[in-house]
Each structure stands twice: as structure tokens, then as C-alpha cells.
Structure 1
Amino acid sequence: MPTIANHLNLLARYNADMNRQLYDAAAQLPAGELTADRKAFFGSVAGTLNHLLAGDTIWLKRFSTHPADFPALRAMQALAQPSGLTHFFGDDIATLRAHREQLDAIILDWAPQITAADLEHTFEYRNTRGDLFRKHFGSVVLHFFNHQTHHRGQASTLLTQADIDIGITDLLVWVPDL
């Protein structure tokens, strides 16, 4: 029976692999198409990628305040706090990919550091408006990974509409056979 640690490591690997696939697919867009307004929630493919970077950076910086003091998240201190969920990191694949790969490396290092006891912690944080929340840390970590999947799905749709195939996206492919 897989442990919670197995599940989090699976989600971290899936996240990193899917981000590679997404960025490889987005790199196939003709010049100007990355930033073209496609009437999506964040406008363009670049807008969606920027949102994912902003969300992940914000959450990882919040997670770095957990009493467990996860060693992998200490690297988050060196990263600037995004101005909000539409923070602009860049409008070219190379710039966005560099930040994405940095975050994914941190996530891959962080996931195996999380214990079952860490997940049971009541986690306090403030949203981007300053409102205070107290939530179950394990549930917030699941939200973190689900948020990425949700917005990658939006980006995948935008790329499919531009006749670019992102490839297989089902988590099931990453689940090991028994």
C-alpha cells in the first residue's frame, strides 16, 4: 500500500514531467502566438504559464514557514514575492522555463521531506489580499498540486486549439504497476 510520501513524490514527478511537456509544446508556437490573447482566463498561453509560476511561488514561500522548516524550501527565501496571481515573470519560453525548472527542482526535493505528521499540522497563511486562513496542511498541499493540474489543463487546451499536441497528460501513466 503506497504511503502519503509515495503519493506526494508521485505528484511532484508528474508535475515536473508535465511541465516539461507543456513547455516543450509551447515552444512550438509560432512567434507571437505565446502571448496572443486566446480569450482564456489568463488571456494567453504565456499568461497562464505566468499564473502557474506566480501561484507556485506564492504557495512554496508560504510552505517555507511551516514549523518543519523543510530544507528544500529554504531556497524560496531568495526568490522575490510575486505581486499577485497575475505577476509577470516574462513573455518568452526561455525566461519562463528557467523559473519553472527552478521551482520544479525545489518541489522534487521538498516532496520526500514531508512527513505524515507535517501534513496533520494546522497551517496559517495570508492570501494575496492579506486575509488570514487556518487550514489543514495536507489538504492545502493537495490543493497546490491540483491547482497546477487545473491550469496546465487550460494551457493544454489552448495549445490543442493551436494544433499543438502536448502528449499524454493522465496521471495514471505515472502510477507504477504492482
Structure 2
Amino acid sequence: MDAQLFRAMAHNNAWANHRLLAACAGLSQADFEAPRTGFFPSLRATLNHILVIDRFYVDAMEGGRLGPDAWADREPCADVASLKAAQSEIDRRLIAVVERAGEDGFSQIVAVDRRSRIQHERLDRLLLHLFQHQIHHRGQAHAMLSGTAVAPPQLDEFFSVEDAPLRAREFQELGWTEETVWVENR
């Protein structure tokens, strides 16, 4: 797979998390924890699940052996501010994994500790799985957010011309430029 494609996907993933958690920052703690319809029973539980599974897979991609201990605490972040900081940190680590893979290749084999066995999987396949997992659960959180007074943010227009000023501000918050994402042959 093309390194540029994975770089764009990793940045888009981080950007979507940033946008969604920025919107959630407008919720009260009670609304963040309130029961909602979804696979997980609240925004807090859903967004923490994304974080926990990211930690599981990113650790494996980095060569670690955290394994199922990643979900020993299924909701490690009690509030949006701590969740936003933790998700931002794991998103930066995921981008770094992609950057390294751009140099080393995406066909390298990753050992994923499943406690009962070690799963050996190609990095490109794990990345695609992780991005799909993120999209799936962010969609659920987006739907949950629509049942609050806070408008859910746009998450599916990666680089539209119309949102250039907003994108520039958000990229500045993330420490990026478009060149960060789109520079070819790095």
C-alpha cells in the first residue's frame, strides 16, 4: 500500500477524533455519562472504548506486549478533557507508526498478544482494521451526540474547499499543515 494513503488516513483519523472530542467538550459531565442508545451505553463508554482499543493495537504495532491488559480499565478517562489528551497522545503514536512504516514497509509482521495466543498479522491489515474500528465507533458517538444540545461535527469531508479556514485552525491546534499530511516521498 502507498505510504501517502496511510499517512492521510492516520492524520484524518486523528483529525476526526479531535473534532469529535472538541464537540464533546461542550457537554456537561452528566450528558457525557448519560445513558444513550449504542453498542456502548454512553458517550463516555464509547469514546473510552476507542482509546483502549487504539492502545492495544498501537502498542502491538510498536513492538510492545501490552495485550489484553490494555482493557483492564475499560474507561480510563472519566471526563472529556482527560480523554481528549489521551486520545491525542495515542493518535500521535499511531501517526509515528505510519511514518516509520513508510520507511520500513507496511508488509512487516506485527505480533498481537491475545493472551491465549500471539496473532501474527501484516501491519497494513492491522492499520486498515484499526481505522475501520475507529470509524465504526466514532459513527456511534456521532449519533449519540446528535441527541444532545451539542451539534455533532462534520467528520466525513476530509479536505473540502469550503472548510479551509476551519481546517487551518484545527490543523494549527494539532500542530500540522496540509504539507504535513500530503508531502510525498518523505
Q: Structure 2 length normalisation: TM-score?
A: 0.75
Q: 2:97 aligns with which of 101, 105, 110?
A: 110
How big is each residue's C-alpha offset from its partner over 1:43-75, in whole Å with a ceiling of 9 and x where there is no partner? 10000111011000000111111xxxxxxxxxx
Whole-angstrom CA distance in 2 between matches of 1:120 and 1:110 = 13
For residues 1-178 of structure 1, what are the structure 2 equivalents within 5 Å? 4-65=2-63, 81-84=69-72, 87-115=74-102, 118-127=105-114, 129-173=115-159
User: Amino acid of the residue matched to residue 138 of structure 1?
Assistant: D
1:90 aligned counterpart, secondary structure: coil
| Alpha-carbon shift at residue 112 of structure 1 (Å) | 1.8
User: 5+ unaligned residues in a row in structure 2: which ranges?
Assistant: 161-180
Over the matched positions of the two proteins, sequence identity in percent amounts to 25
How large is the RMSD of aligned CA atoms in angstroms? 2.7
Which 5+ residue runs of structure 1 have no aligned equivalent? 66-75
Amino acid of the residue matched to residue 152 of structure 2? I
1:69-127 deviations in whole A, cap 9, x for unaligned? xxxxxxx799xx4235x622122111111111111222223322213863223433232
Alignment partners' CA distance in 2, 1:109 and 1:134? 21
The aligned counterpart of 1:68 is none
Check whether the contact 1:121–1:137 (CA below 8 A) recurs between aligned residues: yes
The structure whose residues are more often helix, as a share, is 2
- Across the two proteins, how many residue pairs are aligned to each other? 161
TM-score, normalization: structure 1? 0.78
Letter matched to residue 164 of structure 1: V
Structure 2 vs 1, CA of residues 64 and 148 (structure 1 numbering), >3 Å: closer, same or farther?
same
Counterpart residue type for residue 82 of structure 1 = A
